[in-house]
Amino acid sequence: NEHTTHSQSHYPKYPTSKRKMADAAAATPKTPTPDGELMLNSSGVIQKCDGDWQGQQDEIAATVWKMLKEVKFISVGQGESMERLYIKKDDVEYVVTGKDCTYYILKYIKS
């Protein structure tokens, strides 16, 4: 009986597959929270502005919109999506995505 109790204490709390899943989830880096978010409509007009853009939201939106228009294959129509376009300037990274005629600009400040 003592041996059975001792042997049971060597078993992992969870089956191996669940433990591996938990370890993998713990090791997966968390998606950082953006420092700002802009939402543009299909005409490039800002529909939503969250975060601290230090008064540069219009300039950033216009620059990104110009880039999207110059690269015509990037524009997204109804039912289409654009995964990610990365733009880096100094210590700031902008991630541009789009879906159903709406574009999102996420701002990440490198620390």
Which distant-in-sequence residues (6+ apart) come within 8 Å of 81 by Cβ?
A: 97, 98, 99, 100
How many whole angstroms separate alpha carbon 22 and alpha carbon 15? 11
Mean pLDDT of the region 42-60: 94
Which distant-in-sequence residues (6+ apart) come within 8 Å of 16 by Cβ?
A: none
Residue 1 confidence class, pLDDT cut points 50, 70, 90: very low
pLDDT digits (tens, 9 = 90+) for 58-98: 999 999 999 888 876 666 667 767 778 888 988 999 999 88
How many whole angstroms separate alpha carbon 4 and alpha carbon 11? 11
The amino acid occupying position 1 is: N
Residue with tokens 């433990």: 19
